[in-house]
Amino acid sequence: MRYPKEKLAVVKPFVKWAGGKGQLLSNIRKRYPNELGKSINKYAEPFVGGGAVLFDILSSCELDAVYISDINADLNPKNFVNRNVSHDMLK
């Protein structure tokens, strides 16, 4: 699903994590490809951590698909949601 930019909100990382990329965003942002959200319409984040880069990109780009993962089981999105989100919210 593609969301128009005017409907996108600025979202902060969902968990504070040692080694998080939030404080480095201004430097990381300079390295985003110019085509991101244009001809590049898919994003893969293999080390999502707290999601700082992911949410920065989602708040500024229109993407068709996003793939996230993390080798740390505590941060793996599937485990994080199962452990920290009420299942009533997922219905």
Residue 87's CB: how many other CB atoms inside 10 A?
8
For position 40, which CATH number holds?
A: 3.40.50.150
90 domain residue, yes or no: no
Q: Dump the DSSP string for 16-67.
A: --TT-SGGGHHHHHTTS-TTBTTTB-EEEETT-TT-HHHHHHHTT---SEEE
Domain coverage including residue 73: 8-84
Residue 75 lies in a domain: yes
pLDDT category at 50 given cuts 50, 70, 90 is confident
Residue 2 in domain: no
pLDDT at 68: 83
* 24 occurs within a structural domain: yes
Total count of domains within the chain: 1
pLDDT tens column, 8-46: 556 667 667 667 788 889 999 999 999 998 999 999 988
Q: What was the pLDDT predicted at 85?
A: 47
Q: Please provide residue 18's backbone torsions phi and psi, each rounded to the nearest 5 degrees.
A: -60, 135
